[in-house]
A and B are shown apart, each in its own frame.
Chain A
Amino acid sequence: MNEFKGRTLSWQIVNGAIELALHRDPCNEIGSLTLDELEQFAAALPGLANEAHVLIIHSTLKAGFSAGADLRELFERGQEMDKAAARRGVREFLERIHAVMNALDATPLTTIAAVHGVTFGGGFELALVCDIIIADRMARFCFPELRLGLIPGFGGIPRLKRDLGNAVVRDLLLTGRSFNVMKAQQIGLVSQIAAEGEALRVARATASQMGKFDRRTAAAAKDFVKPIPYEELKREIDIFCDLYSRPAVEEGLRKFVENEGVQPYLP
């Protein structure tokens, strides 16, 4: 399936690059519908990879790349069922999203996240599975999960640890602060900074350059330098589920969902 138009995302092959576009209003919150379509993409990826050399993930929404997990859905589903069923549901969701993230991480294609605006939580984690992050000047990154009594659950901590120094990881995780693209490049997270609205264009130019390389060599180089921390990823799911069962999380989610103020990202 070389082309797909879904309710939350679409993909097509353009000049040898698979372009996966996120487009679920208001800011690509990742809930069950997005997960379903991401799974469809992951299933199609091996076939797509035969006809492309690069994968670019980007958002068509003005607000940003992705605000992360759909916390409203997480809260509301938790209210609809008993605690044990809610915990099982969360674990199942995490195992499914991890399978998608791992498939994206492990693909022999070179992968680029072209991000702009809000790149928070699960959206940040989606960008982290990519080999390279190209960011718009107005991009902003954050792991806000501790504000809710949780840790990032889509593989963010092991992948951030893989890519950055531990002191930086502790800073970003334990303060929960958001940071801009200059900081992101300074710490080694962002490869290139694009002008406002130009991240996708820069990503396409980079993909074009990558298309000049032998695919098998590029895949071997990636496999050599980018180990996937499977054991830590499994442990992250366990820690998340353990924390999720605490009453403080339900209150944190309720506060977020019911917040009608102008700063819901600053609980």
Chain B
Amino acid sequence: MSPPTIEHTLDEILNLAAVHFQVPREKLTPDGDFFKTLGIDSLQALDLLTRLEHHFRIELPDYELQGVSDFRTLANRIQARL
């Protein structure tokens, strides 16, 4: 089975973030700063990382997220592990 496209991965991330952090989906954009848009702190960022790992069934070391703050880059990091 071929891996999902980057667009599909990005869409899943946005959906997951919207549902978990109770933010309207239309407010989340691929290039938006998820720390600002979701209003999350460091502990919630770890929570988001764990949820993404469970959802995509991957391991994503936290150092790969260092400096990452937009959904599109996050999706690229995840895509590289699918």
Cross-chain contact A118 with B43 (CB below 8 angstroms): yes
Cross-chain contact A137 with B43 (CB below 8 angstroms): no
B-side binding surface: helix, strand, loop or mixed? helix
- Chain B residues within CB distance 8 Å of chain A: 35, 40-43, 45-47, 49-51, 53-54, 59, 61-63, 65-66
Cross-chain contact A177 with B63 (CB below 8 angstroms): yes
- Chain A residues within CB distance 8 Å of chain B: 27, 63-64, 117-118, 137-138, 140, 142, 175-180, 182-183, 261-266
Chain B residues closer than 8 Å to A182, beta-carbon distance: 53-54
Cross-chain contact A117 with B43 (CB below 8 angstroms): yes
Cross-chain contact B42 with A138 (CB below 8 angstroms): no
Asked, given contacts A137-B54, A182-B54, whether A175 binds B63 with beta carbons under 8 Å apart, the answer is yes
Closest to A64 in B: B43
Cross-chain contact A263 with B45 (CB below 8 angstroms): yes
- Interchain CA distance A175-B63 in the complex, whole Å: 9
Cross-chain contact B50 with A265 (CB below 8 angstroms): no
Cross-chain contact B43 with A63 (CB below 8 angstroms): yes
Cross-chain contact A265 with B35 (CB below 8 angstroms): no
- Interchain CA distance A12-B62 in the complex, whole Å: 37
B66 CB to closest chain A CB (Å) equals 5
- Interchain CA distance A56-B46 in the complex, whole Å: 25
Q: List 6 A-B contacts (CB under 8 A).
A: A63-B43, A138-B47, A178-B62, A180-B50, A263-B45, A266-B66
Chain A residues closer than 8 Å to B43, beta-carbon distance: 27, 63-64, 117-118
Most buried by B among A137, A177, A180: A180
B44 CB to closest chain A CB (Å) equals 9
Chain A residues closer than 8 Å to B50, beta-carbon distance: 138, 140, 180
Most buried by B among A27, A182, A261, A262: A262
Asked, given contacts A140-B50, A178-B46, whether A262 binds B61 with beta carbons under 8 Å apart, the answer is no
Closest to B53 in A: A180
Which one of B51, B59, B62 lies within 8 Å of A265 (CB-CB)?
B62
Cross-chain contact A263 with B54 (CB below 8 angstroms): no
Cross-chain contact A180 with B59 (CB below 8 angstroms): yes
Cross-chain contact A266 with B35 (CB below 8 angstroms): no
- Interchain CA distance A259-B54 in the complex, whole Å: 29
- Interchain CA distance A11-B39 in the complex, whole Å: 35
Chain B residues closer than 8 Å to A180, beta-carbon distance: 50, 53-54, 59
